[in-house]
Amino acid sequence: MKQFTIPFTYRSPLINAIKEIRKQNDKMKKDFTPTLLDFGPVQFYLARHFGFCYGVENAIEIAFKTIDENPDKNIFLLSEMIHNPSVNKDLRDRGVQFLQDTYGNAIISLDTLTKEDIVLIPAFGTTIEIENKLLAIGIPIQKYNTTCPFVEKVWNRSEQIAKKNYTVIIHGKPTHEETRATFSHASAKTPSIVINDMSDAIVLSKFILDDSDEAEFYKIFSGKISEGFNLKKDLSRIGVVNQTTMLASDTQSIADFLKQAMIKKYALTEDTILDRFADTRDTLCYATNDNQSAVYGLLETQADFAIVVGGYNSSNTSHLVELCEQKLTTYFIDHSDRITSREKITHFNFHEKKQIDSSHFLPSKNQVRILMTSGASCPDAIVEKTIEKLAGYFITEEQYQNVINHWING
């Protein structure tokens, strides 16, 4: 896989050494057991896969290269480059200005831009409408387009089934930048609808089976369907794609559920199912799959609690938290600074969308066992800082360095 040039401050010699050793010993990526960092009184179990993915490193490389090559130009980002506060702060500190917030609300009007300005399209991609506005101004968007290739893969899959007259159903968070972009690209080719979860799929299936209550359908799915969506016609042939960072198991369950609704509605058989339900296969990216599979493997280890590191508005990270919470107490933090003492940690409750403080989170016992992973937009350096801070409550700096040097130097 391509090696990207990104700021060294995002790298971690320790994490890099661990990942390289695991890669060499498991080239087919079939071993999802965690890596043990043993400091004696505290043990860390690191997920087999975590941290920056291809799309994130690609976006970061393009962004910082653009800054370095254009010192005298105004450089703008459509919204957050990725969902990580440290990276976005670094970009702001280098002079990059953000045009929108993560919900698409304007911070700086596009009307104020000129063709001399540079606009970076983030890893999530953007809508066709915004692309056209930038092109009309004369801004060359492709040169500074950091859209993840796995997001573009979903767009391509949507276009493929659109050509066969399927309606595209997008499993994703309706307000997420990626889902908004995918909806824009899909709806330009075919009727499209966004569903957030299985409860939405259950409601949608009722309209598939009985399309008589049109008014109720348009009320429930207002803002989530393409313009001119026709209930009686546009749910007769469907295909499911997804926001690339959703839980794989959720997307599969939703697709299977809607497939059964189509079989029931049209009395389909295995030979005729493609007449009504497209074979879209899995549109999750490799990193999402790997990171989620690694968490399943991580959770086979008995531990006192888990820590998940990443941006609080990161979809893929929140799903890792969701998986861990099913098994044990989990703390979701975006930086090691959230750990302020042995007694206190400030972490994020993504269900209620707020930060909370927990006291005495480190148990009083001879050996504490901690599970750790991070999202695809989280720098490895932040993970190492978190490990170092926690280990510092149990051992000396010299003891810590001895273990670290063992991994780095072999």
Q: How far is CA 166 from the centre of its chain?
A: 26
The pLDDT of residue 77 is 97
338 and 390 belong to one structural domain: yes
CB 181 within 8 Å of CB 78: no
For residues 305 and 105, give the distance between their C-alpha atoms in angstroms, rounded to a whole number. 37
SS3 call for 239: strand
Which of 247, 275, 303 represents a domain boundary (last residue)?
275
Residues 120 and 19 occupy one common structural domain? no
Q: How far is it, in rounded angstroms, from Cα 210 to Cα 346? A: 48
Which tens digit of pLDDT belongs to each residue from 179-208?
A: 999 999 999 999 999 999 999 999 999 999
Query: Is 48 a member of any domain?
Result: yes
284 pLDDT above the threshold of 80: no
Say if residue 22's pLDDT is above 80: yes
Residue 95 sits in which domain range? Answer: 54-144
Q: State how many domains the chain has.
A: 3
Any idea what the CATH number is for the domain that residue 107 is in?
A: 3.40.50.11270
User: Is the pLDDT score of 2 beyond 90?
Assistant: no
DSSP-derived pairing of the beta strands 330-333 and 305-309: parallel
As a whole number, the mean pLDDT across the chain is 96
Beta bridge partners of 171: 195, 242
Q: Give me the torsion for CA of 310, 316, 318, 321, rounded to 10°.
A: -90
Q: Which of 123, 325, 333, 130 minimizes the C-alpha distance to 244?
A: 123
- Phi, then psi, of 275 in degrees rounded to 5: -65, -25
Pair (153, 139) in one structural domain: no
Altogether, the residues listed in the chain come to a count of: 410
Q: Which amino acid is at 35?
A: T
Nearest to 403 by CA among 11, 10, 13: 13
**Closest by Cα among 10, 104, 126 to 60:** 10
Q: Are residues 384 and 313 in the same domain?
A: yes
What CATH number is attached to the domain comprising 189?
A: 3.40.1010.20
Q: Is the pLDDT of residue 403 over 80?
A: yes
Let me know whether 209 and 255 are in one domain. yes
339 and 401 housed in the same domain: yes
Gap between the Cα atoms of 13 and 19, Å rounded: 10
- The pLDDT tens digits for 128-179 are 999 999 999 999 999 999 999 999 999 999 999 999 999 999 999 999 999 9
Question: What global pTM score does this model have?
Answer: 0.93
Q: Is the pLDDT of residue 1 over 70?
A: no
Per-residue pLDDT tens for 341-359?
A: 999 999 999 999 999 999 9
In a domain, 2, yes or no: no
Element (H, E) at 399: helix 397-409
- Catalytic (active-site) positions: 178
Q: Which SS3 state, helix, strand or coil, does residue 368 take?
A: strand
| Residue 3: per-residue pLDDT | 84
User: What is the percentage of the chain residues whose pLDDT exceeds 90?
Assistant: 96
Of the three residues 217, 249, 275, the one that is the final residue of a domain is: 275
Q: Say yes or no: 291 and 404 in one domain.
A: yes
Domain boundary among 81, 109, 144: 144
- Same domain? For 306 and 264 the reply is no
Confidence (pLDDT) at 287: 87
Question: Which pLDDT tens digit goes with each residue over 288-322?
Answer: 899 999 999 999 999 999 999 999 999 999 999 99
Q: CB of 318 within 8 A of CB of 325?
A: no
Do 255 and 313 have their domain in common?
Answer: no
Distance CA 342, CA 360 (A): 7
